[in-house]
Amino acid sequence: MTLLAVKDLHTHFVSRDADNRVRVAKALNGVSFSLDAGRTLGIVGETGAGKSLTAQSVVGLLRPPARIVSGSVIFEGQELTNMPAAELNDLRGGDIAMVVQNPRTSLDPLTRVGEQLVRLHQVHTGGPQALSQQRALEMMEAVGIPDPLSRARSWPHELSGGMAQRVLLAMALMNDPKLLIADEPTTGLDVTVQAQILDLLRDLTAQFNMATMMITHDLGVVAHFCDDIAVMFAGSIVESGPVPDVFAEPAHPYTRSLINATPERFRMGEKRTLGGQPPDLYNLPLGCTLQSRCTYASDTCKATVPNVEIAPGHLALCHFAGQLAEKQPVKDQASRNHA
């Protein structure tokens, strides 16, 4: 069953420049995806592609000057974009939980760890204090914190980065969430600790039958820990589908270039990388946002861009989706690397 359905979401930043002129940055341009219970969706993309903004738009955590211009976010049949703030607040930390990058700055430095977990439970469920405490200890145990009873009494600054991330995970699980949004959950952590946290996340998703939305820039994480992948570029999902399909047969030139730039595929001297500036969100071109960097681009790309379904559930925003293997690059690659 579809737990979360995002349809044609547009989010803009409206600001004024130093010369007092209104500027609009089109940060999200028609983002659509859906997520089922028990599945993990990996959202990948580069800085400024709109990954975190998608998450913030979904849970209504946008701050001015960013705002949703159009589109809908349906969670369990409820529309979130026009939900009153109070109801949305009940949902966040309840049915929808978030885990963010930099775990240490996400904890209240003046409150003991256990107390923070208990408070979160109390806010959402009320009930006897003892019950919340019991739940806190259970969740700390579930995320693999050794000796939860004494850990509950420690202060946030006493935790290592990995331990703090476990505490945040425990916090996210306190109210039995149906949707977990993990925004770069392992970026600040060491490789060996990253592996621990990712394993844990996967086990928890299965154990609690949650849906997890994992935002990352690491294709390795997506390849091994996600069921589905959505690749973002300039505020659009340019390709989405089941992980094995997309990695085996990337249908969009951008996905292709990303995968080819990973250490596993990259060979020195092949010059297969996409160069160029990130697109100017204040001034997006008509048609495909990748047109100026894409080696396959033709005139049709400057007008429209279709969302092609190559295989069931495998979509790509490209005229040539699914035909890249046969197609020769139109333009000279070297001229594009001069960025």
Partner 1 sequence: MAYGAQTDLAERSAFSVFWNRFVAVVRLSPTAAIGLFIIGVFGLLAFLAPWIMPHDPVAAYTDRVLQAPSAEHWFGTDGNGMDVFSRVIYGARFGFGIAIPAVLLSLAIGVPVGLIAGYRGGYLDEILMRFFDGLRVFPSIILALAVVAATGQSLFNVILVLGLLDSPVFARVVRAEVLALRSSNFVESAVAAGNPTWRILFVHLLPNAIQGAMAQTAVRAAWAVRISATLAFLGVGIQAPTPEWGAMIRQGAEFMVSGQWWVAVYPGLALIFMVFGLNLFGDGLQDLMDPRRRAAK
Partner 2 sequence: MSQPVLTVRGLCKRFPAGGDRFVNAVNHVDLSIARGETLGMVGESGSGKSTLGRVILRLSEPTRGSIEFDGQDITKMPKGRVRPLRRDMQMVFQDPWSALNPRMRIRDLIGEPLKLHMRLSRSERDDRIEALARRVNLSNAYLNRTPANLSGGQLQRVCIARAIATEPKLIVLDEPTSSLDLSVRAGILELLNEICRESRAALLFISHDLGTVRMISDRIAVLYLGEVVEQGRAEALFENPSHPYTQALLSAHLPADPMVKVNRHVLEGEVPSPIALPSGCKFHTRCPVAIDRCRSDVPEVHQVPTGQHARCLRIPDGGNIYHRKQTA
Decide: is 87 part of the binding site for partner 1 (CB under 8 A): no
Binding to partner 2 (CB under 8 A) within 127-186 occurs at 160-163
Enumerate residues 6+ apart whose C-beta is below 8 A from 238. Answer: 231, 232, 252, 254, 255, 290, 316, 317, 318
Backbone angles phi, psi at 268, to 5 degrees: -60, 140
Binds 283: which of partner 2, partner 1, none (CB < 5-8 Å by kind):
partner 1
Using CB under 8 A as the binding rule, whether residue 17 contacts partner 1 is answered as: yes
Instruction: Among 1, 19, 334, 338, indicate the residue that binds partner 1 (CB under 8 A).
Output: 19
Residues in contact with partner 2, shown as a per-residue x/- string from 219 to 238 under the rule CB under 8 A: xxxxxx--------------
Contact between 277 and partner 1 (CB under 8 A)?
A: yes
Among candidates 303, 290, 279, which has minimal Cα distance to 331? 290
Between CA 276 and CA 294 the distance in angstroms is 10
Residue 30 tokens read as 């028609």
| Count of residues of this chain found to bind partner 1 when the rule CB under 8 A is applied | 12
CB of 17 to partner 1, least distance (A): 7
* DSSP-derived secondary structure letter, 92: B
Q: Which residues contact 82 (CB under 8 A, 6 or more apart)?
A: none
Of 127-135, 280-288, 305-313, 315-323, the window that binds partner 1 (rule: CB under 8 A) is 280-288
Burial class (CB within 10 angstroms; exposed 0-12, middle 13-18, buried 19+) of 126: exposed
The site partner of 190 among partner 1, partner 2, none (C-beta below 5 to 8 Å per kind) is: partner 2
Which residues sit at the interface with partner 2, rule CB under 8 A?
A: 46-47, 160-163, 190-196, 199, 217-224, 243-244, 247-248, 257-266, 268-269, 271, 273-275, 277-278, 337-339
